[in-house]
Amino acid sequence: MTRAVVFPFDSFGSPGTSAGAMAMGDALREMRADFHRETVPTRASSWAEDLKIREVAFDTPREIANFRRTGRSMARKPLANGEPLVWLSGNHLGVLPLLDLAAADTDTLVIQADAHLDIHAFGDSVETLSHGNYLRRLRWQPDGLPRLIHLGHRDLLQKPDDIETFIPTTISAEEMAGDINGTRGRLAAMAAEHTKIVIDIDMDVFDEGIVPGMARPVPCGLAPLQLWHVLKALDPDRVVALALSEYDPDRDDRDRGLAVLAWFMERFLLWKSGG
Ligand SMILES: [Mn+2]
């Protein structure tokens, strides 16, 4: 069974991205419907036949307050069973339930691609949980040391000591652009020690000129195929989940950004299913 969860959570950052999660869910449903309408065999049969899509709602204060627990309960079984999981969130905070489960499981590594380092504690940052500081709140088992590799940031403000406490390994967009195959090799070597890998893509890791529709753009982002080239150095059998977040349809241009996100979903599912 292949599972997708549409998780339109956009409280505490990037309002409007809940519509983005639903748009990504609709794009995935459309790909599945295309597969069922097709009369000749295609590679999509390897993932589309047994794809199950669930969608949750965050319409009430109670649903919003319980988002972390709700999300964990939806992700726990597929992660434990090794069923491919696509997690379509509103803002990046909506990926926290997956990260909670990864932090609790000593076998799991998180590979996070994001323009930002989400440990913000600037003068104007909120101290309560937000989409910009949640990495400070994760409780990594067994020793508090994060199993997280960060790719593609363009941060120019945060000091190395602060970063290392919460994100032991960062490979910035600058470093990636300078040596993409070196990045690929480094990532594969670091990931080899782990039996389960969660890929967490905040779409603002990409360049807004190529992939419009991100809630918080930062200049000088990656091209989609630069990131994919690096990620496919991983062993697909070990990758258990792909999360996508921070898509705001109001900022998109003729659905060009959505099309890239849909390509990533399809490419990931095909890669996972060996199709
Ligand atoms: Mn970001």
Tens-place pLDDT, residues 33-63: 999 999 999 999 999 999 999 999 999 999 9
> Where do the structural domains in the chain lie, given as residue ranges?
2-121+129-273
Cβ 269 vs Cβ 47: under 8 Å:
yes
- Give domain 2-121+129-273's CATH superfamily: Ureohydrolase domain (3.40.800.10)
State in Å: Cα 24 to ligand 1 middle.
18
- The partner residues of 197 in beta bridges, in order of sequence, read 109, 239
Q: Is the pTM of this model over 0.85?
A: yes
Question: Length of the chain, please?
Answer: 275
Burial degree of 29 (CB within 10 A; 0-12, 13-18, 19+): middle
Reported as a single tens digit per residue, the pLDDT across 172-220 is: 999 999 999 999 999 999 999 999 999 999 999 999 999 999 999 999 9
Collapse the DSSP code of 30 into the 3-class scheme (helix H, G, I; strand E, B; otherwise coil) and give the result: helix
Distance (Å) from CA 204 to ligand 1 centroid: 5
- Rounded to the nearest angstrom, the distance between the alpha carbon of 10 and the centre of ligand 1 is 13
Compute the distance from residue 154 Cα to the ligand 1 centre, in Å: 10
Q: How far is the CA of 235 from the centre of ligand 1 (A)?
A: 25
Evaluate if residue 225 carries a pLDDT over 90.
yes
Residue 197 is encoded by which pair of tokens? 């890998």
- CA 74, CA 91: separation in Å to the nearest integer? 17
DSSP codes of every residue in 118-158 = S----TTS-SS--TTTGGGS---TTTS---EEEE-----SS
pLDDT digits (tens, 9 = 90+) for 238-252: 999 999 999 999 999
CB 252 within 8 A of CB 213: yes
pLDDT at 26: 98
Element (H, E) at 272: helix 256-273
92: confidence class by pLDDT, cuts 50, 70, 90: very high
b/e burial code for range 224-253 (CB count within 10 A of at least 16 → b): bebbebbbeebeeebbbbbbbbbbbbebbe
Calculate how far, in angstroms, residue 12's C-alpha sits from the geometric centre of ligand 1: 14
- How far apart are the CA of 252 and the centre of ligand 1, in A? 16
202 alpha carbon – ligand 1 mean position (Å)? 5
118 CA to centre of ligand 1 in angstroms: 7
Q: Which range is least confidently modeled, 15-19, 126-130, 232-236? A: 126-130
